[in-house]
Amino acid sequence: MRLTPKSVTLLALVVLIALSPIFFPSGFYYRIGALIFVNALAVTGIVILTGWAGQISLGHAGFAGIGAYACALAPVHWGIHPALAVVLGAAISAVLAWLVGRPILRLKGYYLAVASLGMGILISMVLNNERELTRGPDGIDVAELGLRGVLKDAGLDLSNGQFWYFFCGIVLILGAWLALNLRDSATGRALRALHGSEVAAKTVGMDVARLKLQAFVISAVYASVAGSLLALQNKFITPDVAGFMHSVEMVTMAVLGGVGSVAGAIFGAAVLTLLPQVLTVFAEYEQLVLGAVMVLVMIFLREGVVPSILRKIRGRGE
Amino acid sequence: MSELLQFLLSGVTVGAVYALVALGFTIIYNASDVVNFAQGEFVMLGGMITVFTYAAGAPLPLAALVAIVATAALGVAMNKLAIEPARGAPVVSLVIITIGVSIFIRGAAQLVFDKQIHSFPAFSGDDPLRILGATILPQSLWVIGGALAVFVGLWLFFTRTLLGRAVLATSNNRLAAQLVGINTPFVMTLSFALSAGIGALAGVLVTPITMTSYDVGLAFALKGFAAAMLGGMGNPKGALVGGFLLGVLEGLTAGYLSSQYKDAAAFIVILGVLFFLPQGLFGRKSTDRV
Amino acid sequence: MKTFLTTTALIALAMPAMAEIKLGASISATGPAAFLGDPELKTLEMLVEDLNAKGGINGEEVTLIAYDDNGDPNKARTFATRLVEDDEVVAIIGGTTTGTTMSILAVAEDAEIPFISLAGAIDIIDPVKPYTFKTPHTDRMACQKIFEDMQKAGITKIGMISGTDGFGASMQAQCKTVAPDYAIEIVADETYDPKDADMTAQLTKIKGTEGVQAILNPGFGQGPSIVTRNYKQLAIELPFYQSHGVASDGFIELAGTEAAEGVRLPGTALLVAGLLAADDPQKPVVDAYKAMFEEKTGTPVGTFGGYAHDAFLIMTDAITRAGSAEPAAIRDAIEATSGLAGTTGVYTFTPEDHLGLDLTAFRMLEIQGGKWTLVQ
């Protein structure tokens, strides 16, 4: 049986997530793993938007903020179960992305960058300023998801760290599977054609605006769910989640790992999540190293780490 | 009446700061189609180097000159080390590179300088000037004057000098520019030196008003970027108008509507303008190449 | 910090017989709250070094494992987890901001590790959580102290201009809550972004509001200095109150002696070390910290470094009294702290009070001729 690249990626992901804990020296590593998975999920959305559809966004953290605050607010104000709040957040993000995306996706390059930046800043401003609702910059508590308790009753007793590690891991596998399926679908192929040349895609009769909008909405949902997972596992969230630097972080992870590939996105998320943990002894140099890594990877591994390395391994295969 | 005037003067003060930063974006963009997100760090360096040189005993004008020259040199280094090697990379890569450089400079600044907030004396004292019951600081006039001077300088440079036209030509078509004998590497070096120098000048002029610390660059870069895009990236007139427009908008919103949402008003207007004019107010029209 | 860690590591290797007490810290030494976190981290590192030079606690070396959370609550939670699970510290100091504190708090409470926070919000210790304590006054107390002073001056209507950062926004909300207790009405309520260049628009609006008798500016960083300068630019004659967020000599320097003249704020004994009575219980500790910090760093002491100093003092005092470095024993000893003089005030904790300070620890200060003076 010959494995497709899609099944290789998914299989590697499943094996990594399932077997890594064997090597964990302490419970802290479950936390790091869970963070990597959450970031990787958001970044998978960026791969769809930027890697495949070729559109840039500097405001996607705004959607993560919506997902996170949906989990904080919906259970308290409307008595909605946190699990449904995740869905609600994703729905709000999708609708907002659809409304905002229509006008701003007409813009190109840096103009799209500034428009998406503005959208992200507006969302984070609302989260900061609407104190009555969001409790402002100091943050707000988030309800317990409750699934861990259910599992415990069913005889599966996991520590908090373990639970979130496996839960986020499973969601990531699902997200990656959906993204990879999308990639091979008609829509996915059209998106990638669009990235190659928008004019050419238009000429052959593709509905370019609609395709771009679809990618924007899907990526917003990924970011929103990632934000929800972050809020639920921390049981506390602040507006920082929607901040500009978080948007930049998402794009950086995607581009660093390889914006055209899901595996690259996961790799990028892992590297940038681990970096501050590895550099703690040199905390003063963290920014210096981060900046240098961003520049060097973009210069020497233009397509990102994973695709560049794969290409080297395969020779001129591609 | 005097209230309205004060809101306007407040807006003009802030707007002049934005305009100066926005003007710094134009040259690099014109030469290379790169929006340099590290532009804000040049502003920070202009302020911080001046602060520390001045504290070491140098007279203020000399300290300012040192800051501008040193920052310009850093701009050249940035071009050689980070931008030139990445020529032809897609927009998103260039965004990451320039943000990477900005994080790098910020990280270096916190090691070389410190994390405290600093300032130095205003050039012409702190006694406010009174205009019809409203007030403005003399330093604001320096910033406004600086923005206008840089604008006129750039406008003359791009329209009246061979070198300026060479910059525009390089931006339009690098290969063609080379074919007609333009030394494109030199044009790039010059553009980065000029942009960084203008950024540092902005830092020198605004520090007595806004104060400075190692991390002020990002806020300057975002507002300057927004102002430049509002006016139309690459056009000095756009940068000037965009900057002042953004500042006045914030001043009036803070005065009449809500100070909490003054930044929101600015971004809503930007989104609105881009909706009707996708190239900004004075942007050049471009067509896609297949 | 790196060299420091290495030296302690070397010492630990050289003297394996000597036990060590692992103390954890997550501080915002960089990022938007670096202005607060930087002196906090420097203070902790300095004090640990000093303590070990003097022989540690009960003959045991103290190792400080400090992480920089950039002011990001998500990172703070990760570092707190790391301190607890991986480094196995016996206690945590930190949480420069309320957001980072809330993140660390959850981890510390789960793991039953004592935690002393350096942030302001009242929510941190109200309701009381068994393992969480804090050293700074709450922002509500700052409001109360200011309103007390206003009440004495017969002020009933004020305008507020607050920073939109966590510090400014939280104090703004607390002041609005307690204002009615002092018969004070907030008739104008404006804000500014911490990175704004000019606040004359907001001040003009407040100035033009009917009946305003005084103006209060909660915030930290450069914002309040700019507000103070703009205040003078607009020649506003009303009494002007700042918050404890700018209680440091740096504020007077940045705002300018002339503009800062007459500004009042609630501060700690640290700022007026020279003015304290000879028999003031805080005098020895204040003088010692001020001398040590200023010699070590070359920068003036501020309230925030003082919070870290007090947290460390409370922690070491508790470990000494407990005679053990077990988290539960340390917690019990912290809660039994009584009459311990720090730079911020004299701490007495009880099971119902994990702040241990009252309003008397705040001193109303006024800037005159570029110097802090005590308001009688």
Half-sphere exposure at residue A202, Cβ-oriented, CA atoms within 13 angstroms: 8
User: Does some domain include residue A141?
Assistant: yes
Q: Label the pairing between strands C115-117 and C91-94.
A: parallel
Question: Greater confidence, B62 or A181?
Answer: B62
Cβ-Cβ contacts under 8 Å, B250 against chain A: none
Mean pLDDT, residues C235-245 taken together: 90
State the pLDDT at residue A88. 94
Quote the minimal CA–CA distance from C100 to chain A in Å: 9
State the pLDDT at residue C76. 92
- What chain B holds in terms of domains, given with CATH numbers, is 2-276 (1.10.3470)
Phi, psi of C110 (to 5 degrees): -60, -40
Mean pLDDT, chain A, integer: 87
Q: Could you tell me if A270 and A276 are in contact, meaning their C-beta atoms sit under 8 angstroms apart?
A: no
Task: Look up the CATH architecture of domain C2-138+283-361.
Answer: 3-Layer(aba) Sandwich (3.40)
Mean pLDDT, residues A118-145 taken together: 87
Mean pLDDT, chain B, integer: 87
Residue A305 has pLDDT above 60, yes or no: yes
Residue C376's contacts (CB-CB under 8 Å, 6 or more residues apart) are none
Cα distances from C41 to residues C48, C311, C319, in angstroms, run 11, 12, 20
Least confident range from C173-182, C210-219, C296-305: namely: C296-305
Is the dihedral angle over the CA atoms B271, B275, B279, B282 positive or is it negative?
A: negative
> How many beta-carbon pairs under 8 angstroms link A with C?
94
- Give the residue on C whose Cα is nearest the Cα of B127: C233
State the pLDDT at residue B207. 92
- Top mean-pLDDT range of B181-190, B264-273, C83-92: C83-92
Residue B92 has its nearest CB partner, among A106, A199, A255, at A255
Using a pLDDT cut of 90, give the percent of chain A over it: 30
Total domains in chain A come to 1
Q: Which conformational region is residue C251 in: left (phi greater than 0), alpha (psi within -120 to 50 degrees), or beta?
A: alpha
Chain C neighbours, 3+ Cβ pairs < 8 A = A, B
Yes or no, beta carbons of B275 and A103 under 8 Å apart: yes
Distance CA C25, CA C45 (A): 10
User: Does some domain include residue A218?
Assistant: yes
Residue C301 has pLDDT above 60, yes or no: yes
Residue B290 has pLDDT above 50, yes or no: no
Mean pLDDT, residues B118-132 taken together: 87
Q: By the CB < 8 Å criterion, does B127 face chain C?
A: no
Phi, psi of C176 (to 5 degrees): -65, -35
Question: Greater confidence, C166 or A292?
Answer: A292
Residue C8 has pLDDT above 60, yes or no: no
Q: Is the peptide bond before C127 cis (omega within 30 degrees of 0)?
A: yes
Quote the minimal CA–CA distance from B54 to chain C in Å: 15
- Give the residue on A whose Cα is nearest the Cα of B115: A284
Chain B neighbours, 3+ Cβ pairs < 8 A = A, C
- Top mean-pLDDT range of A186-200, A241-255, B276-290: A241-255
Using a pLDDT cut of 90, give the percent of chain C over it: 39
User: Does some domain include residue A286?
Assistant: no
Using a pLDDT cut of 70, give the percent of chain A over it: 98
Cβ-Cβ contacts under 8 Å, A234 against chain C: 73-74, 77, 103, 106
Mean pLDDT, residues B91-103 taken together: 89
Q: By the CB < 8 Å criterion, does A110 face chain B?
A: yes
User: Does some domain include residue A15?
Assistant: no
State the pLDDT at residue B146. 92
Least confident range from A136-150, B107-121, C328-342: namely: A136-150
State the pLDDT at residue B286. 52
Question: Greater confidence, A35 or B262?
Answer: A35
State the pLDDT at residue B169. 83
Residue C86 has its nearest CB partner, among A26, A230, A282, at A26
Structure tokens at A89: 């957040």
From A203, A263, A247, select the one nearest A58 (Cα to Cα): A247
Residue B101 has pLDDT above 90, yes or no: yes
Residue B233 has pLDDT above 50, yes or no: yes
Domain ranges of chain C: 2-138+283-361, 140-273+362-374
Do the domains C140-273+362-374 and C2-138+283-361 match in fold?
Answer: yes
pLDDT interval class at C10 (50, 70, 90): very low
Yes or no, beta carbons of B117 and C198 under 8 Å apart: no
Yes or no, beta carbons of C190 and B137 under 8 Å apart: no
SS3 call for C240: strand
Mean pLDDT, residues B65-70 taken together: 96
State the pLDDT at residue A317. 46
pLDDT interval class at B52 (50, 70, 90): very high
User: Does some domain include residue A238?
Assistant: yes
Q: What are the start-end ranges of the H helices in chain A?
A: 5-19, 28-46, 61-78, 82-104, 109-129, 131-134, 147-153, 160-184, 186-196, 198-203, 208-234, 244-257, 262-278, 286-300, 305-314
Q: What is the pLDDT of residues A252-262, one digit of tens each?
A: 899 888 888 88
Yes or no, beta carbons of A50 and B86 under 8 Å apart: no
CATH pick for C140-273+362-374 out of 3.40.30.10, 3.30.465.10, 3.40.1350.10, 3.40.50.2300: 3.40.50.2300
Distance CA C75, CA C80 (A): 8
State the pLDDT at residue A212. 87
Yes or no, beta carbons of B135 and C191 under 8 Å apart: no
Q: Which conformational region is residue C374 in: left (phi greater than 0), alpha (psi within -120 to 50 degrees), or beta?
A: beta
Q: Could you tell me if C36 and C305 are in contact, meaning their C-beta atoms sit under 8 angstroms apart?
A: no
pLDDT interval class at C177 (50, 70, 90): very high
Q: By the CB < 8 Å criterion, does A199 face chain B?
A: yes
From C182, C175, C174, select the one nearest C155 (Cα to Cα): C182
Distance CA B147, CA B97 (A): 28
Mean pLDDT, residues C348-357 taken together: 90
Mean pLDDT, residues A27-42 taken together: 92
Residue B23 has pLDDT above 60, yes or no: yes
Yes or no, beta carbons of A255 and B278 under 8 Å apart: no
Residue C2 has its nearest CB partner, among A28, A235, A282, at A282
Q: How many CB atoms lie within 10 A of CB A64?
A: 36
Distance CA B143, CA B207 (A): 10
User: Distance between the two ends of chain A, CA-based, in angstroms?
Assistant: 21
Q: Which conformational region is residue A155 in: left (phi greater than 0), alpha (psi within -120 to 50 degrees), or beta?
A: left
> How many beta-carbon pairs under 8 angstroms link B with C?
100
To probe the interface with B, which of A295, A300, A301 has the most B CB atoms within 10 Å?
Answer: A295
Residue with tokens 């960089």: C30
Chain C residues with CB under 8 Å of a chain B CB are: 29-32, 34-35, 38, 164, 190-193, 195-202, 204-205, 208, 221-222, 225-226, 229, 232-235, 250, 254, 256, 258-259, 299
Cβ-Cβ contacts under 8 Å, B115 against chain C: 29-30, 34-35, 38
Quote the minimal CA–CA distance from A301 to chain C in Å: 28
Mean pLDDT, residues A209-225 taken together: 92
Q: What is the pLDDT of residues A79-88, one digit of tens each?
A: 888 889 999 9
Using a pLDDT cut of 90, give the percent of chain B over it: 36
Q: Can you name the residues that pair with C340 across neighbouring β-strands? A: C347
User: Does some domain include residue A259?
Assistant: no
Quote the minimal CA–CA distance from B137 to chain A in Å: 30
Yes or no, beta carbons of C200 and B259 under 8 Å apart: no
Cβ-Cβ contacts under 8 Å, B253 against chain A: none
Going through chain C in order, the beta strands assigned E by DSSP cover 20-27, 61-68, 91-94, 115-117, 132-134, 157-163, 185-192, 214-217, 240-242, 264-267, 340-341, 346-347, 363-368, 371-374
To probe the interface with C, which of A31, A38, A39, A138 has the most C CB atoms within 10 Å?
Answer: A138
State the pLDDT at residue A205. 73
- Give the residue on C whose Cα is nearest the Cα of A277: C79
Residue A298 has its nearest CB partner, among B81, B93, B270, at B93
pTM over 0.90: no
Residue A300 has pLDDT above 90, yes or no: no
Cα distances from C145 to residues B135, B211, C150, C163, C185, in angstroms, run 33, 29, 9, 19, 16
Residue A224 CA from chain centroid, whole number = 8
Cβ-Cβ contacts under 8 Å, C82 against chain A: 28, 31, 277
Distance CA A144, CA A83 (A): 10
Chain A neighbours, 3+ Cβ pairs < 8 A = B, C
Residue B104 has its nearest CB partner, among A104, A121, A295, at A295
Residue B280 has pLDDT above 90, yes or no: no
- Top mean-pLDDT range of A222-231, B86-95, B266-275, C190-199: A222-231
Cβ-Cβ contacts under 8 Å, C166 against chain A: 136-138, 238
Q: What is the pLDDT of residues C12-27, one digit of tens each?
A: 444 444 568 899 999 9
A41 lies in which domain range? 22-243
Cβ-Cβ contacts under 8 Å, C299 against chain B: 114, 116
- Give the residue on B whose Cα is nearest the Cα of C31: B215
SS3 content of chain B, % helix, strand, coil (to 5): 75, 5, 25
Yes or no, beta carbons of B103 and A287 under 8 Å apart: yes
State the pLDDT at residue A316. 53
State the pLDDT at residue B287. 45
Q: What is the pLDDT of residues A173-211, one digit of tens each?
A: 999 999 988 888 888 888 888 777 777 777 777 778 888
Quote the minimal CA–CA distance from A299 to chain B in Å: 5
